[in-house]
Structure 1
Amino acid sequence: MQVLRGFPAQAHDACVLTIGNFDGLHRGHQALLQLLTDKAREMRLPAAVMTFEPHPREYFSPADAPARLASLREKLLLLAAGGVDRVHVCRFDARFAALSADSFIQDGLIRGLNVRHLFVGDDFRFGARRSGDFEMLLNTGRANGFGVESMPTLIIEGERASSSAVRAALADGDLDHAACLLGRPYSIAGRVVHGDKLGRQLGFPTANVQLKHRRPALSGVFAVGVEGLDDQRLPGVANIGIRPTATDAAQARLEVHLLDRRVDCYGAHLRIHFLKKLRDEQKFASLDALKHQIAQDADAARVWLSLHQTRLLG
């Protein structure tokens, strides 16, 4: 899959395009990508996606922006797995936010990308002050020779499939519901970096998976499957949160303890699959109390994962 920054001033070839943030790539997004790739194969054109970095809500209101379900790297991997040929990552800044709806269509869709068919969500808005809508795209497409289709909302068990619904399920610790909306267990990927070695001091060495500046969509202690160290996922227990017993810092961290195995993880790129929430994060009176609880958490994760081997192995 080809990844490009923005779009060119003049297109080199035509494409079939969809536009969106695609955070988490839930089942609604997957249905949209299926329409995109089917149409692209029918028209013998590349299947292209336009997405934005940062998320527009992070630009307009960073303090109130929702937690991301996936990093840009994770999103690109998911798009590639969905059969996308090309992704245009548009930097959402003051210049892009001020672009009129007409300029977005003329400069971006027509001249920059030579769109021959466009898929968008049924509530898609674009341009400065969100002035552009589906009707504007439809009329412009008719006048310029490209098709426009809306993707109707996907309803799963009576609920709209959306990134917001996934975030709500994760915040509630309902991993089964989040997995239903996503079509897979929720996961976070990152490189293992050096931490403060507190887990090792307590007898439970952990892999500190880098979150960078990301605010996670879930917190607590979880039974997990760890991908990236073996041919199959390894059982583990993970804490994601601010570690209130160990520090006063507000920066969230993801720490994973492999059950019944010692592996040198430093530098490895792992994917942590969250399978069962065991408890909320809490502050303990002492490190001894924390150590006792970690032992209980490890036992609980071990028991649950042994009873759900198919969930662990995916």
Structure 2
Amino acid sequence: MELIRGLHNLRERHRGCVATIGNFDGVHLGHLRVLAQVKEKAAQLGLPTTVIIFEPQPREYFGGSQVPPRLTRFGEKVRLLQAQGIDRVVCLSFNARLQKMTAEAFVENLLLRGLDVKHFVVGDDFRFGCDRSGDYQMLKQVGEQQGFAVVNTKTFEIDDLRVSSTRVRACLTENNFGAAERLLGRPYRISGRVMHGQKLGRQLGVPTANIRMHRFAAPLRGVYAVSVYTEKDVFLGNGVCNIGVRPTVNGSQPVLEVHLLDYQGDLYGRLLSVKFEKFLRNEQKFEGLEQLKEHIFNDIDAARGYFALPH
């Protein structure tokens, strides 16, 4: 799969495609239905598939830390789209220039001159351009004039409710991982590379792998029993994970820290994927490191109990 960053990197060879556009946060079953539409039409026309996304997501640009937490950071999203067999992902930087671009200029620069789209799959509630003046009807009209088709995405429902990123977030907020998995079509995971941290866990006798979240806010918060996998999706081990801002040590940014049970080895720089199995407790602020250490060991015992592992 080819990742194209920005309009300025579109070339003649990128022209002529079947495309769709959106945030694709979580790449859930509703998104997979859209991607299936794109792939089916691309196969009929003998054209490559193109997914257009934004970074940051528009609501993040306008709302900052007040926006809903991301389900998938940029790297995770790209890997999930690649796994679906998408040929190209065009990532547009959502900045002041793009914000001020008129709907007409957006269509001209991206869909016509940039990609020469032959078939465009989009939600009928999609809005774009300065002041959100562009909509589905405008795209239909331009498509009729310029010779490309514009069609609705097909709504995908489970239990008579539309599958959406908002609905997945609600399931995660309730720590209902089974329900989230039904909507995603896979277990919910957070992935990232292990970075050097404060080494506080090592000082407490509980070494942790610190994974950078790369998002304004985390979709989960608290302590969990987890399963951990390597970059090649090989099971690495079970563990206990904390997601939060670490209030006991005056933290402010969301961090994922995972302690692998009975594991010894260097994980720095490794790309790990953390699957959430069971919620153990909320994040708390403790009076000091000794109290924090006591609760960490209690969390480890709880995780061992869940996985039925010996001490």
TM-score, normalization: structure 2?
Answer: 0.92
Greater mean deviation of Cα atoms: 196-205 or 1-10: 1-10
Cα RMSD (Å) of the superposition? 1.9
C-alpha spacing 1:221/1:282, structure 2 compared with 1 (3 Å): same
1:178-231, Cα deviation, whole Å (9 max, x unpaired): 222211122111111222222222222111112245421111001111111883
Give the secondary structure class of the aligned counterpart of 2:247: coil
Aligned with 2:119 (options 110, 117, 120): 117
Please tell me whether the aligned partners of residues 227 and 239 of structure 2 are also in contact (alpha carbons under 8 angstroms).
yes
Q: In the TM superposition, what is the alpha-carbon distance from 1:143 to its structure 2 partner?
A: 1.9
The offset of 1:263, in angstroms, is: 2.1
1:236 matched to 2:233:
no
Sort the Cα spacing of 1:260 and 1:286 in 2 relative to 1 into closer, same or farther, 3 A.
same
Q: SS where residue 61 of structure 1 aligns?
A: helix
Q: Report the Cα distance in structure 2 between the residues aligned to 1:121 and 1:213, rounded to whole angstroms.
A: 25
Contact 2:100-2:129 within 8 A present in 1 as well: yes
CA distance in 2, matches of 1:303, 1:257: 15
Which digits, 9 at most, give the CA deviation of each residue in 1:104-130, with x for residues without a partner?
222211121110101012311111111
* SS of match in other structure, 1:285: coil
Corresponding residue to 1:152 among 139, 151, 154: 154
Which of 58, 64, 88 is the equivalent residue of 2:66? 64
| Length, aligned pairs only | 306
Q: In 1, distance between residues paired with 2:154 and 2:284?
A: 42
State the Cα deviation string for residues 73-127 of structure 1 (Å, max 9, x = none).
Answer: 1111111011110011111112111222122222211121110101012311111
Superposition misfits of 4+ residues, deviation over 6 angstroms: none
Q: Aligned runs of 1:161-310 on 2, under 5 Å?
A: 161-212=163-214, 214-228=216-230, 231-245=234-248, 247-306=249-308
- Deviation of residue 244 (structure 1)? 2.0
Match of 1:312 in 2: none
Q: Could you list the runs of 5+ residues in structure 1 that have no partner in the other structure?
A: 308-314
**Contact residue 52 and residue 91 of structure 2 kept, 8 A:** yes
Alpha carbons of 1:101 and 1:42: their partners in 2 closer, same or farther (altered >3 Å)?
A: same
Comparing 16-25 and 296-305, the one that deviates more: 296-305
| Maintained 8 Å contact 2:124/2:135 | no
Whole-Å separation in 1 of the counterparts to 2:297 and 2:63: 41
Most deviating of 247-256 and 295-304: 295-304
1:10 to 1:299, Cα distance in 2 relative to 1, 3 A: closer
Which segment is superposed worse, 187-196 or 25-34?
187-196
Mapped partners of 2:291, 2:64: distance in 1: 37
Q: Percent identity?
A: 48
Q: Could you tell me how far 1:10 is from its partner in structure 2?
A: 6.7
Deviation at residue 299 of structure 1 after TM alignment: 2.1
How far has the Cα of 1:277 moved from its partner? 1.1
Kindly report which structure 2 residues correspond to 1:21-170, keeping only aligned pairs within 5 A, or say none: 21-170=23-172
Give the distance between the partners of 1:56 and 1:126, measured in 2 at CA.
10
What is aligned with 1:311?
Answer: none
TM-score (normalised: structure 1)? 0.91
CA offsets 1:237-285 (integer angstroms, 9 cap, x no match) = 100101222x112122111011122222122121111122111111223
Range with greater deviation from structure 2 (167-176 or 235-244) = 167-176
Q: Deviations over 1:106-159 (max 9, x none)?
A: 221112111010101231111111111111111221222111111132211232
1: CA distance, partners of 2:215 / 2:160: 35
